[in-house]
Structure 1
Amino acid sequence: MAVVVVTDASSRLPAEELTRWNIRQVPLHVLVDELDLRDGVDTIPYDIHERAHVTTSGATPGELGKAYRRALADSGGDGVVAVHLSAALSGTFSSAVTAAREFGPLVRVVNTRSAAMGVGFVASAAARCAAEGGDLDAVEAVARSVVPRGSAFIVVQRLDNLRRSGRIGATASWLGTALSLKPLLRVDVDGRLVLAQRIRTTSKAHAALVDQVVEVVGDRRAAVAVHHVDNHDAADAIGAALTERLPQIEALTVTDMGPVLAIHVGAGAVGVCVSLSD
């Protein structure tokens, strides 16, 4: 058998990628109108991020434990590497640590300190190592080695969602009240969402986003994912600009940000996740 990688729905990995690398995915939750909708399982309205009184919830220890138990059985006892959304952005990681205690050293939990494909890049690299015959220690080591090679940036159109979700609580002082402010945010080394640049217009913010990614990648090889919330045109334009300025990019994908992250960042947001090659 082989080590099995488990991740959560924040990873934005397409179904074919999950199947190809035998990655198991645990849903996150969208809570609306007394309904508990599971990202990746239930149908979630495309405009969920525009609705009032919508909240999100991470995967529970019970859900994670069930997923780990099945994955461990399917691995034939070889083990599980669990790769999850930043502990600073979601309670999923702490729930994963709690759930993993039941299995001792056979389940290893990795904090990606990222979100969206920042999580997906780590999960995919770990799963490829498993498919190549890597043992539990090797697969965990690959996952942990990819984490510091990742970067993530995002431009939001409105600040309401971030304020409401509490994801900018400690940094609210730099936001001010300017309606035209389009902050360029980044995920820092601890997996927190912090200010990278304070910008007044969307076009300049998107240009700064491209510049930041180009600076991070330099002349190295990298995989890049451009995410958006109902803003495909801007995401395509940013993807085209990155392809032109970074011809050495090994893979570039453009995809939605998913309902859970969309609820926190709001309509029109565009983000980029980068994973540098070793």
Structure 2
Amino acid sequence: MAGRTVIVTDSTASLPAEVAAARGIVVVPLQVVIGATVYDEGAEGATPELVAQALRDFRPVSTSRPAPAALLDVYEKAGADGAAGVVSIHLSGEMSGTYESALLAARDASIPVTVVDTRQVGVATGYAALSAADVIDSGGTAERAAEAAGRRAAGATALFYVDTLEYLRRGGRIGAAAALFGGALAVKPLLQIRDGRVANLERVRTSARALSRMEDLLVEAAGGRAVDVCVSHLANPDRAGDLAGRLGERLAANLEGRPVWCGELGAVLGAHVGPGMVAACVAPLLVDGVVPESGSGPASRPQDA
């Protein structure tokens, strides 16, 4: 690590532990509060299964950002180990106070820390961190790494289906999708991350149609570009696996041999969307530091189907 810029992200980035370790990316956990008990997100603390069961049991579930002191400890440890600086890459500041905590910690750090608000959630933030690590691995600067993270995140398309908007409403994360809430029982909402918040994309009449429409929109978003693809779920493995398989087939040329990641959503994000959720992200790879142009991505117009 001596003389190197260290990439830091948070647990909502949904990076597999082995991937983060192999790339030298430090992951800082957010917390989940179930009843009166506080857990760090992760295999030894708050797991997706724990959260899904708590939600089914109608137990109080909330989440908490890492304190600035926790992030400062990470930055200071990197410095003590010889790092020249840190690029700290986090989920949308519109959705969590994690970015704010990172800014406060960066102010007090003894080494330079560049903080990036990806304005994304989930694996789109993880892909941004991986692109930053690519820059560092190739000898690039912290500034270039931060720029790459921002561009990769901005180029990603993240869509998700939920059985109900109730969990998003409870957590105050529903954003522009709030207009859907009154009719949520009559339709199945297909949502997107837009401008750092959850927003309505389309309204469809069945869950099968929602997932089929999601698939089509993600293929459209990929266009002719090389992409990474990830499908996530909370207590919905069969539908997620089916979607991952179809995306893998339809985007085989775009994937260039890379696998479609498919797995359970992290506990923090799961607490806000509830059991049954299926999400997918298509993130074009950077070429010479930028996201290549492609055809038009998914339309943001409402559509009844």
What's the TM-score once normalised by structure 2's chain length? 0.86
Aligned-residue CA RMSD in angstroms?
A: 1.7
Query: Hey, what does 2:261 align to over in structure 1?
Result: 253
| Residues 87-110 of structure 1: per-residue CA shift (max 9 Å, x gap) | 111111111111111138710000
Query: Hey, what does 2:88 align to over in structure 1?
Result: 82
How far apart are 1:77 and its partner, in Å? 4.2
Alignment partners' CA distance in 1, 2:254 and 2:41: 30
How far apart are 1:41 and its partner, in Å? 6.1
Of residues 54-63 and 128-137 in structure 1, the stretch that sits farther from structure 2 once superposed is 128-137
Asked if residue 20 in structure 1 is aligned to residue 26 in structure 2, the reply is: no
Query: Hey, what does 2:293 align to over in structure 1?
Result: none
Judge conservation of contact 1:243–1:249 (CA < 8 Å) in 2: no
Q: Which amino acid aligns with 1:48?
A: V
| Residues 30-51 of structure 1: per-residue CA shift (max 9 Å, x gap) | 0112111000263335141324
Asked if residue 130 in structure 1 is aligned to residue 136 in structure 2, the reply is: yes
Asked if residue 276 in structure 1 is aligned to residue 284 in structure 2, the reply is: yes
Alignment partners' CA distance in 2, 1:34 and 1:14: 28
Alignment partners' CA distance in 2, 1:202 and 1:47: 24
Query: Hey, what does 1:111 align to over in structure 2?
Result: 117
Judge conservation of contact 1:6–1:71 (CA < 8 Å) in 2: no
Alignment partners' CA distance in 1, 2:132 and 2:191: 27
Query: Hey, what does 2:235 align to over in structure 1?
Result: 230
Asked if residue 48 in structure 1 is aligned to residue 47 in structure 2, the reply is: no
Alignment partners' CA distance in 1, 2:36 and 2:204: 38
For residues 127-166 of structure 1, what are the structure 2 equivalents within 5 Å? 127-166=133-172
Judge conservation of contact 1:10–1:115 (CA < 8 Å) in 2: yes
| Residues 6-57 of structure 1: per-residue CA shift (max 9 Å, x gap) | 0000011111111111111111010112111000263335141324211111
Query: Hey, what does 2:71 align to over in structure 1?
Result: 64
Query: Hey, what does 1:3 align to over in structure 2?
Result: 5
Of residues 151-160 and 241-250 in structure 1, the stretch that sits farther from structure 2 once superposed is 241-250
| Residues 164-211 of structure 1: per-residue CA shift (max 9 Å, x gap) | 1111155422322442421100001x2111000011210000011101
Query: Hey, what does 2:218 align to over in structure 1?
Result: 213
Alignment partners' CA distance in 2, 1:215 and 1:41: 35
Q: Which amino acid aligns with 1:193?
A: V
The sequence identity of aligned pairs, in percent, is 37
Q: Which amino acid aligns with 2:59?
A: A
Can you give the 5+ residue segments of structure 1 that lack an aligned partner in the other structure?
Answer: none
* SS of residue paired to 1:186: strand
Query: Hey, what does 2:204 align to over in structure 1?
Result: 199
Judge conservation of contact 2:5–2:84 (CA < 8 Å) in 1: yes
> Closer, same or farther in 2 for the Cα pair 1:219/1:169, shift >3 Å?
closer
Alignment partners' CA distance in 2, 1:77 and 1:65: 14
Of residues 129-138 and 84-93 in structure 1, the stretch that sits farther from structure 2 once superposed is 129-138
Alignment partners' CA distance in 2, 1:71 and 1:125: 20
Judge conservation of contact 1:30–1:54 (CA < 8 Å) in 2: yes
Alignment partners' CA distance in 1, 2:119 and 2:89: 10
Can you give the 5+ residue segments of structure 2 that lack an aligned partner in the other structure?
Answer: 287-305
> Closer, same or farther in 2 for the Cα pair 1:22/1:158, shift >3 Å?
same
Asked if residue 93 in structure 1 is aligned to residue 96 in structure 2, the reply is: no
Alignment partners' CA distance in 2, 1:211 and 1:15: 30
Query: Hey, what does 2:303 align to over in structure 1?
Result: none
* SS of residue paired to 2:119: coil
What's the TM-score once normalised by structure 1's chain length? 0.94
Judge conservation of contact 1:226–1:255 (CA < 8 Å) in 2: yes
> Closer, same or farther in 2 for the Cα pair 1:47/1:200, shift >3 Å?
farther
Q: Which amino acid aligns with 1:211?
A: D
